Amino acid sequence: MTKRPYRPSNCLGLHSWLAPGWRVVPISGTIEPIMVTSRSPDSVSQLLFGSTRRQVLALLLGRPDERFYLREILRAVGGGSGAVQRELKQLVEAGLVQREERGHQVYFSANREAAIFSELQRIIEKTAGAVDVLRASLVALLGQGRVKLAFIYGSVASGKKTARSDVDLLIVGDVPLTELVPALRAAEARLGREVNPAVYPVKEFRDKVKRGTPFLKRILGGPKLFVAGDERELARMAR
Residue-wise pLDDT for 190-223, tens only, equals: 777 899 999 999 999 999 999 999 999 999 999 9
Residue 55 reports pLDDT greater than 60: yes
Q: How far apart (Å, rounded) are the C-alpha atoms in residues 232 and 208?
A: 18
Strands 97-102, 105-110: pairing is antiparallel
106 pLDDT tier (thresholds 50, 70, 90)? very high
Average pLDDT, the chain: 80
Residue 153 reports pLDDT greater than 90: yes
Domain 38-127 = CATH 1.25.40.10: no
Burial of 71 (0-12, 13-18, 19+ CB in 10 A): exposed
Residue-wise pLDDT for 4-47, tens only, equals: 554 544 444 434 444 445 454 455 555 444 444 444 445 555 55
Report the pLDDT averaged over residues 214-235.
92
Extract the runs of DSSP E, i.e. beta strands, from 34-146.
68-69, 97-102, 105-110
- The residue ranking higher by pLDDT, 237 or 127, is 237
Strands 147-153, 22-25: pairing is unpaired
Residue 140 reports pLDDT greater than 60: yes
CATH value of 129-239 in 3.30.1360.40, 3.40.140.10, 3.40.50.10470, 3.30.460.10: 3.30.460.10
108 pLDDT tier (thresholds 50, 70, 90)? very high
113: which strand partners? none
Q: Which of 6-20, 106-120, 139-153 has the lowest mean pLDDT?
A: 6-20
Instruction: Report the predicted TM-score, pTM, of the whole model to 2 decimal places.
Output: 0.58
Residue 122 reports pLDDT greater than 70: yes
% the chain with pLDDT above 70:
77
Contacts of 1 (CB under 8 A, 6+ apart): none
132 pLDDT tier (thresholds 50, 70, 90)? confident
Q: Are 31 and 22 in contact (CB under 8 A)?
A: yes
Question: How many C-beta neighbours within 10 Å does residue 179 have?
Answer: 13
Residue-wise pLDDT for 65-93, tens only, equals: 889 999 888 877 766 889 999 999 999 99
Spell out the domain ranges in the chain.
1-36, 38-127, 129-239
Q: What is the pLDDT of residue 149?
A: 95
Q: What is the pLDDT of residue 9?
A: 46
